[in-house]
């Protein structure tokens, strides 16, 4: 069994694979040694892989090494089964690259857009030659609301909460929520339209902790892929294990 760990800005996500099947899935804000001991105690993990946008990988990596579980920490130098054409690979978030590998594993040889909605929103593209060509980063829903409050004198502090009632706000609070929420939808639809014009038919993957809020709202057929990063991490781990055995 293999353990995949995705450490994001707000949450840490764990998956355990038995061959190609995910048999365990956990999303948490608090990672403790007790939690790690429980996960590895209940599942005979043979190898692990970690992707992180923070420094918390050190805690998890150290625990796994103490348990004699080989750990691969993904970096821009890690071997991957696709081509990375990003201009500054050392600055690329490994969650973005892992999601691209996940999209490749599901739709090889096809152009795909990955929309990952979390604290930030990332739009990443893998083309039909199985190359990661880059993408865009923009603020997430809560970040947009927080920024309007932080950088103005009179706009209120609005919790993200539920979806806005309509596309047109009839109060300042409603206008902020509608602007932030529907702005994301228009942004996503604009990106899809641009890529469709450039590449023809594309696959659109929707993932991330905020994806459920926008599912069925974006006017395009979407592939719901909540574990896309983990599918990519598992693919990267297996790819490197194969290289080690050659």
Residue numbers annotated as active site: 95
Q: Which residues pair with 14 in a beta bridge?
A: 5, 26
Output the six-digit token pair for 175: 């206008």
The alpha-carbon radius of gyration of the chain (Å, integer) is 19
Torsion of CA 218, 224, 227, 231, to 10 degrees: -110
Alpha helices per DSSP H over the chain: 33-42, 57-66, 94-106, 141-150, 172-199, 211-214, 228-244
Asked if residues 83 and 100 have their Cβ atoms less than 8 Å apart, the reply is no
What would the two tokens of residue 1 be? 């069994």
């Amino acid at each position: 069994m293999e353990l995949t760990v995705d450490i994001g800005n707000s949450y840490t996500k764990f998956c355990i694979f038995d061959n190609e099947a995910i048999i365990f899935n956990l999303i948490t804000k608090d990672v403790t040694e007790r939690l790690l001991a429980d996960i590895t105690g209940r599942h005979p993990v043979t190898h692990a892989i970690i992707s992180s946008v923070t420094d918390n990988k050190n805690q998890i990596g150290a625990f796994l090494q103490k348990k004699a579980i080989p750990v691969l920490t993904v970096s821009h130098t890690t071997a991957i089964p696709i081509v990375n054409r990003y201009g500054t690979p050392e600055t690329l978030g490994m969650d973005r690259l892992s999601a691209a590998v996940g999209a490749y594993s599901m739709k090889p040889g096809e152009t795909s857009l990955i929309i990952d909605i979390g604290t930030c929103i990332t739009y990443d593209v893998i083309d039909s030659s199985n190359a990661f060509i880059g993408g865009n980063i923009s603020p997430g829903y809560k970040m947009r609301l927080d920024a309007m409050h932080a950088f103005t004198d009179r706009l209120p502090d609005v919790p993200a909460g539920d979806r806005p009632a309509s596309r047109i706000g009839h109060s300042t609070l409603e206008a902020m929520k509608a602007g932030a929420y529907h702005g994301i939808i228009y942004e996503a639809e604009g990106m899809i339209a641009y890529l469709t014009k450039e590449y023809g038919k594309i696959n659109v993957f929707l993932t991330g902790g905020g994806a459920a809020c926008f599912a069925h709202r974006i006017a395009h057929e979407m592939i719901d892929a909540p574990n896309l990063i983990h599918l990519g991490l598992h693919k990267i781990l297996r790819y490197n294990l194969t290289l080690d055995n050659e």
